Amino acid sequence: MRHVVFSVAALAVVFPIGTASAQAPEGRSDRPGFEFGGATEFDGPFLAKNEQEKRALAVLDEMTQGQWYLNVTTREGRLLRQLTEAVGAKRVVEIGTSSGYSTIWLALALRSTGGKLFTHEIDPEKIEIASANFKKAGVDDLVTIIEGDAHETVKQHKDPIDVVFFDADKRGYIDYLDKLLPLVRPGGLILGHDMKRPRPDPRYIEAITKNPDLDTSFVMMESFGISLTLKKR
């Protein structure tokens, strides 16, 4: 497997939003807002604090209008941003870039914390799509894409990690956890997507719920579900 690490900031490929031929994942909405299951009565629109946020939010909104590889819902994306900013994350690792929808939400937090994001993706086509989205959203300076099989490429991480987000092959979560958990700092978060459907790997669930060094809650279970695991101090 060829492993390629490159900074998105160096790319100048432009893909028109809404013209990709990729189909949206089965069972997920392509309507504006990408709100699978609908918002609660209290949810309001995400309000941009500045022009940088406004630019990124415009791209996120455009991505929900067309047929894209949208790997999280809008509500889940907002939660990812909130959690990442709340822990003051400086270094985030994402497994499974797809079109970069979740990555942009994470990058919104890192713009505030001064952090960097390293996202792993094996599909060259998705890397091209995501790279263009990062550039258009103005977050390409925060994101480094690592191309290749993440089971191998995650081994290059050596520095402490504040937040890990798993959203790739579900059977692979346990291997990613084994390799990255030692790097997650005390007080850091391990987030796993698709805890409701598709059905999660029982080995992963056991690993994050039976370890006394971890504390796990399951949230957003009305849609695809996220495991929220704190590495205890």
Map 127-155 to HEC letters.
HHHHHHHHHHHCCCCCEEEEECCHHHHHH
Sheet harboring 91-95: ordered strands across? 4-7, 143-147, 116-121, 91-95, 161-166, 184-193, 226-231, 214-219
Give the count of beta carbons closer than 10 Å to the beta carbon of residue 5: 13
Confidence of residue 70 (pLDDT cuts 50, 70, 90): confident
Domain boundaries, the chain: 4-12+47-231
Residues 140 and 11: beta-carbon distance below 8 Å: yes
Across residues 26-30, what is the average pLDDT?
Answer: 39
Residue given tokens 């270094």 in the structure block: 91
Q: How far is CA 230 from the centre of its chain?
A: 17
Helices (H), 17-71: 51-65
CATH number for 4-12+47-231: choose from 3.60.15.10, 3.30.750.24, 3.40.50.150, 1.10.3720.10: 3.40.50.150
Of 61-75, 92-106, 180-194, 197-211, the poorest mean pLDDT is in 61-75
Q: In whole angstroms, what is the distance from residue 78 CA to residue 106 CA? A: 9
What's the pLDDT score for residue 16?
Answer: 33
pLDDT at 38: 58
What does the pLDDT read at residue 43? Answer: 72
Asked if 62 and 74 count as a contact pair (C-beta separation under 8 A), the reply is no
What is the CA 121 to chain-centroid distance, rounded? 11
| Largest interatomic CA distance in the chain | 48
The reported pLDDT for the residue numbered 7 is: 41
